[in-house]
Amino acid sequence: MNSRLSIWQIMSWAFGVIVFLIGTINTFWGNDPGFGIFLIILSFIYFPPVTALFKKWTGISVHWAVKVFLGIFIIWAALGVGELFDKIDLMLMDF
């Protein structure tokens, strides 16, 4: 197995971490913790070890196009509907 990370794996890890953080912010500083938990769960689809484990257990691989479409939906929901920047301001006021 090749130990080097490809650019796609790095991007997948980075986006997964970003979505996880957005979910955490929505869970603890928003008015909709259910949406935040939903985003945290969705973030795991972007972590390569989790997708490999999912494929091993189910035999189903998540296509990259599904990940891209889901990523666009997550960004749209978090920035537009989820008012992410307002929630970040609330979070910063707590510190």
What tens digit of pLDDT does each residue of 30-72 get?
778 898 999 999 999 999 999 999 999 999 988 889 999 999 9
Q: Are 10 and 45 in contact (CB under 8 A)?
A: no
The domain total for the chain is: 1
Nearest residue to 19 (alpha-carbon basis) of 76, 75, 65: 75
Total length of the chain? 95
- The whole domain housing 26 covers 7-94
The answer to whether position 1 is within a domain reads no
The predicted-structure confidence for 27-37, as pLDDT tens digits, reads as follows 888 778 898 99
Domain for residue 43, yes or no?
A: yes
How far apart (Å, rounded) are the C-alpha atoms in residues 13 and 5? 10
pTM value is 0.81
Burial of 90 by CB count in 10 Å (0-12 exposed, 13-18 middle, 19+ buried)? Answer: middle
